[in-house]
Chain A
Amino acid sequence: MSNSLNERIVQLQEELRQGRITRRDFMRYATLLGVSLGAAEVLAACAPTPAPTSTPKPPPPPTALPQPTAPPAAVEVSPPSAVTISMAKDWQLMIDYDRCSGCRVCELECAKFHYGVINPALSRVRIFKVYPGIDVSMFCRNCIERPCIDACPTTPKAISRNEETGANLIDPKVCTGCKLCLENCKAQHIDFHPTDNYPLLCDLCGLNPACVAACPEGALSVVPPTMAPDTWAEPLEQVTRELLEKRGMAVYIKEA
């Protein structure tokens, strides 16, 4: 078992070196293979000499390896907050787009839970009813790497990690509403409080979110980090494109 796992990791490392997969993909596959994130970082960083593996090589042959166009991975790896993932926390909210019916019960429950009012605009989950048949739910994924926190310019930072859950924690009093977090968000989507103008980031409700409990479709869940790598935070346009493609609707939907 450990041998075959190792083999696949070696393969992935090589693909990474050849620039055939991105570092992000590598991290995703590696974590999916059960490698802890810290270990995956290390594996991505170390640059093994290309060695023949048991699987057939795609062209070009190993002797004519092209120079990697991407900068060496080692340069890239400098997360100041070398993240340690804990299975007890650092979980993520996940959506199954195929189940979501766009009913926005999640929005209503989220706003009710956090603010005690009926007002979906205060929700940290946002449903975009893009086209008939395409409802996309956008929310903070509590990514493993958090460029939003890195970008937050205040001291102390208005966005931080909750010690208990690992989820994002926002301090509205510190936040200046500069929206640098949005600029750096991997999904390019953060909703802001309509009057107080601070980011509405998912705090996972202490790992027992109101939206998950109420979703009539069972489309939402909270999952451990290895199952929901940060790469799942995708911009609305990208998710829409993927869903249109997947469902064969691309032909029909044309922008005005």
Chain B
Amino acid sequence: MAETLFGYKGKILDVDLTTGQTKSLEVTSELAKKYIGGSGFGAHFLWERMKPGTDPLGPDNLIMFMTGPLTGTGMSGTRWQAIFKSPHTGAWARSAQGGDIGPELKYAGWDGIIITGKSPKPVYLYIKNDRVEIRDASELWGLDTHETPLLLEKTLKDPLIKVACIGPAGENLVKYASISTEFYRAFGRLGGGAVMGSKNLKAVVIRGTGEVAVANLDKFWELVKKQREALLTPDNYWFRRWGTQSYNEFLNNLDTFGYKNLQEAWLPPEVFANVSAQYLEKTSQVGRRSCIGCANRCSTFGIVRTGKYTGLVDEIDYEGIANVGIGCGHTDFRTFMPAEAEVEKLGLDIISSGKVVSFAMELYEKGILTKADLGGIDLTWGNTDAHIELLRMIAHRKGIGDVLAEGALPAARKIGKGAEKYAMTAALGNEISGSDPRAKDALITTAYIAAERGSCHNAPAGTWDAPDPARQDKMTLFDCMVVCLFVSVDGWGAVAPLSPDYTEMLNVATGWNLGEADFMKIGERVANLARAFNMREGLRRKDWEQLAPRMYEPLPTGPYKGDAITKEMVSKYLDGYYQARGWDVATGVPTRAKLEELDLKDVADALKV
């Protein structure tokens, strides 16, 4: 008998939607030790199974859902990852999702799901422990991401099922469609929803009643309790109380709170007051929610109490308020919550759709798009009704929505008239997030250029002056285990001094004995494998070396007024970063020496480096 893999369930579900066949793949100890799980498993299978040049919306793309050895173990902040080739960028894509569904997959007895092929008609995947069925979803097709799980709960007569589904945006192959769970959580970025839509896969439904075994339960539980206690200490008070919205104020003070399509990045105090976490808490908060096992409970729900949208509830987080909210000119929670709820229902990425709508709003302001172009809607900043109408046009690809559904940059190229300078995109043409990177102390620093998946809101590799791949690798490790970036006591900003607790937790859960260096090497390996995938697709350094033209203009207001990024900064940074990575500085292709050092000799052979 094979060695027991503690922390793992030992098998991955392999589904071919074209033939309707499902089978079980063994997770070997070798695979587990090489890549840990999550993103690492995803990178491995994407590299192994996909031919270069595969159409991301064709049947041969893979959509994978992967957990890690810590997922579902009861520690705080365990999640799952989606890995696929992005229809938005044509590159490697990973996205993370919280909630209860990732752990549920482990309880059902699976470490991950690999889905390939294309079903001839709409279907959903139903997993109840060992029972796996591909079921007809014709009744679900067309429903939004709120209606879909409710109908499934009713049809399956089980309110405890966990559902990840797509909305109309995914069905209509909007390039930045998301995969949604619990109404408001999503694999948001890079169009996983469109990949599911292209496969006629409406939803993945999971119910599991098994256990997750760890190597040393008593010791592990002590660590779980210790971690929970750490999250309850005063150091973490602000995050527990206001969730990611704590960043609103912090980032506004740093002049990085992108307002109106990043025309400015700072709100004066009297304007800021109405989008502060405290204001929301005082006026409209109705509840909080955690992912399973987590003491952070960072989800915050607000309610609209007056006007046309009375009774509407929405989850509010930093990226939501930054992209859908102030990015589109909303300066009050109550005008932006209905728009964000619509983003969730339609199944769009909150970041990309925010930046696409703010792009259209700016074009409307500048007269490049007229009311007639927009099908008669008055797309002024912060106009809730117009915002919602445009989102629906995008999700259903109606009128101008069909153009905007391709993303800000392709849309700008199609619209012409100088629209391109208003598209807020960066590496691989992906939309940037809510944070403006121009201020010299900006927390986001180099993430828009350095992240492997293209412009990304959480994977900076050091600062402009000091490239530091290790910092990115640490985040990659969290994506392999799969653990939330917010559960380290100091939250997102402090992943740098990686708490040794996580190496310890992994070791106690799996029974391994990894040192810090072994651990970091795995992070680096996964980063390089994802890189190799992108290189095999023909992408090169120039595809990352791009930033919205506005980022080269000085910040117009705020405490960091005048700060800007220069092309030299970007180019010098990439030189340093690629050098530190052991990659070819001119092209970004990993060197054979680096790949062999990371036990990726076969990858080096395939890349012919």
Chain A residues at the B interface, C-beta cutoff of 8 Å: 101-105, 107-108, 112, 116-122, 126, 128-135, 194-195, 214, 216-217, 236, 247-253, 255-256
Contact A103 B147 (CB under 8 A): no
- Annotate B124-168 by CB proximity to A: 1 below 8 A, 0 otherwise: 000000000000000000010011101100100001100000000
User: Would you call B305 and A116 a contact (CB within 8 A)?
Assistant: no
From B299, which residue of chain A is reached at the shortest CB distance?
Answer: A132
Closest 3 interchain pairs by CB? A251-B311, A103-B290, A133-B287
Among A122, A128, A214, A248, the residue within 8 A (CB) of B305 is A248
Inter-chain CA distance A132–B185, complex, in Å, is: 10
CB B146 to nearest CB in A, in angstroms, measures 8
Determine the distance from Cα of A132 to Cα of B313 in the docked complex, in whole angstroms. Answer: 8
Interface residues of B in 287-310 (CB under 8 A from A): 287-295, 297, 299, 301, 303, 305, 310
Q: Scan B195-216; emit 1 where CB is below 8 A from any A CB, else 0.
A: 0000000000000111111100
Q: State which of B159, B289, B295, B313 has its C-beta within 8 Å of the C-beta of A252.
A: B313
- Contact A249 B288, beta carbon cutoff 8 Å: no
B524 at the interface (CB under 8 A from A): no
Q: A121-B210, A128-B160, A129-B100 are in contact. Are A103 and B311 (CB under 8 A)?
A: no
* Contact residues in A for B210 (Cβ distance below 8 Å): 119, 121, 194
Would you give 28 A-B contacts (Cβ < 8 Å), ordered by A? A101-B290, A103-B291, A103-B294, A104-B292, A107-B292, A108-B74, A112-B217, A112-B221, A117-B217, A118-B72, A118-B74, A119-B211, A121-B107, A121-B208, A129-B100, A132-B183, A133-B313, A134-B287, A194-B209, A194-B210, A216-B231, A216-B297, A248-B305, A248-B310, A249-B311, A255-B154, A256-B148, A256-B154
User: Which residue of chain A lies nearest to B311 when distances are taken between CB atoms in the complex?
Assistant: A251
Q: How far is the CA of A256 from the CA of B312 in the complex (A)?
A: 16
In Å, the complex CA distance between A109 and B434 comes to: 38
CA distance A144 to B287 in the complex (A): 31
Could you tell me the distance in whole angstroms from the C-beta of B224 to the nearest C-beta in chain A? Answer: 8
Chain B hits for A117, CB < 8 A:
211, 213, 217
Least distance between B314 CB and chain A CB atoms (Å): 8
Partner of A119, one of B107, B293, B314: B107
Taking CB atoms, residues of chain A closer than 8 Å to B150 are 255-256
Tell me the bound Cα distance from A195 to B213 in angstroms.
17
B310 contact set on A, CB distance < 8 A: 248, 251
Interface residue from B72, B143, B295 paired with A256 (Cβ < 8 Å): B143
Q: How far is the CA of A246 from the CA of B422 in the complex (A)?
A: 45
* Contact across chains for B289 and A102 when beta carbons are under 8 A apart: yes
* Contacting pair A103 B295 (CB below 8 A): yes
B353 interface contact, C-beta 8 A: no
**B184 touching A104 by the CB < 8 A rule?**
no
Is B232 in the interface zone, CB < 8 Å from A?
Answer: yes
Interfacial residues of chain B within 210-249, with CB under 8 A of chain A in the complex: 210-214, 217, 221, 225, 228, 231-232
Name the residue on B nearest A103 (C-beta).
B290
CA distance A133 to B311 in the complex (A): 12
User: What's the Cα separation between A133 and B183 when bound, in Å?
Assistant: 11
B315 at the interface (CB under 8 A from A): yes
Cβ B228 vs Cβ A104 within 8 A: no
CB-defined contacts of A108 to chain B, threshold 8 Å: 74, 292-293
Minimal Cβ-Cβ distance residue in B for A102: B289
Q: How far is the CA of A188 from the CA of B240 in the complex (A)?
A: 34
Q: How far is the CA of A102 from the CA of B151 in the complex (A)?
A: 22
Q: Would A247 and B72 be within 8 Å (CB), given that A105-B295, A256-B150 are in contact?
A: no
Q: Which residues of A contact B209 (CB under 8 A)?
A: 119, 121, 194-195
Knowing A132-B301, A236-B159, A247-B303, the reply to whether A120 touches B292 (Cβ < 8 A) is yes
Query: In the bound complex, what is the Cα–Cα distance between A60 and B235 (angstroms)?
Result: 62
Indicate whether B425 reaches chain A with its CB closer than 8 angstroms: no
Q: What are the residues of chain A within 8 A of B303 when measuring CB–CB?
A: 133, 247-249, 252
B79-118: which residues lie under 8 A (CB-CB) from chain A? 100, 107
Known: A216-B295, A236-B159. A118 touches B100 (CB 8 A): no
Q: Give CA–CA (A66, B242) in the complex, Å.
A: 56
CB-contacts of B58-84 with A (<8 A)? 72-74
- A101, B292: Cβ atoms closer than 8 Å: no
Residue in chain B with minimal CB distance to A194: B209
Residue of B nearest to A130 (CB): B159
Q: Shortest Cβ distance from B219 into chain A, in angstroms? A: 13
Option from B73, B154, B297 in Cβ contact (under 8 Å) with A101? B297
Q: Is B569 an interface residue (CB 8 A)?
A: no
Q: CA of A109 to CA of B74 in the docked complex: distance in angstroms? A: 9
Q: Indicate if B575 sits at the interface (CB-CB under 8 A).
A: no
Q: Does B496 touch A at the CB level, under 8 Å?
A: no
Of the candidates B72, B287, B295, the one having the most CB atoms from chain A within 10 angstroms of its own CB is B287
- Tell me how far the C-beta of A238 lies from the nearest C-beta in chain B, rounded to whole angstroms: 14
Q: Which of B148, B182, B184, B232 contacts A216 (CB 8 A)?
A: B232
Contact B184 A132 (CB under 8 A): yes
18 further A-B contacts with Cβ under 8 Å, apart from A135-B287, A251-B310, A252-B312, are A101-B290, A101-B297, A102-B290, A105-B228, A112-B74, A118-B214, A129-B100, A131-B183, A132-B287, A132-B299, A194-B210, A214-B225, A216-B228, A247-B286, A249-B311, A251-B312, A252-B313, A256-B154
Residue of B whose beta carbon sits closest to that of A251: B311
B325 to A: closest C-beta gap in Å: 17
A103–B484 Cα distance when bound, in Å, is 14
Which of A104, A251, A256 has the most CB atoms of chain B within a 10 A radius of its CB? A256
Is the pair B182, A250 in contact by a Cβ cutoff of 8 Å? no
Residues of chain A contacted by B148 (CB below 8 angstroms): 256
A103-B294, A121-B107 given; A248·B311 CB < 8 A: yes
Provide the bound-state CA to CA distance between A217 and B288, in Å.
11
Question: Which residues of A lie under 8 Å from residue B314 when comparing CB positions?
Answer: 132
- When distances are taken between beta carbons in the complex, the residues of chain B under 8 Å from A214 are 225, 228
A133 touches B290 (CB 8 A): no
Judge whether B147 and A256 touch: CB under 8 Å.
yes
Chain A residue at minimum C-beta to C-beta distance from B104: A120
**Which of B150, B288, B297 gathers most chain A CB within 10 Å?**
B288
Bound CA span A40–B369, Å: 74
Contact of A118 among B160, B211, B232, B295 (CB under 8 A): B211
Report A241 CB to chain B, min CB distance, Å.
Answer: 14
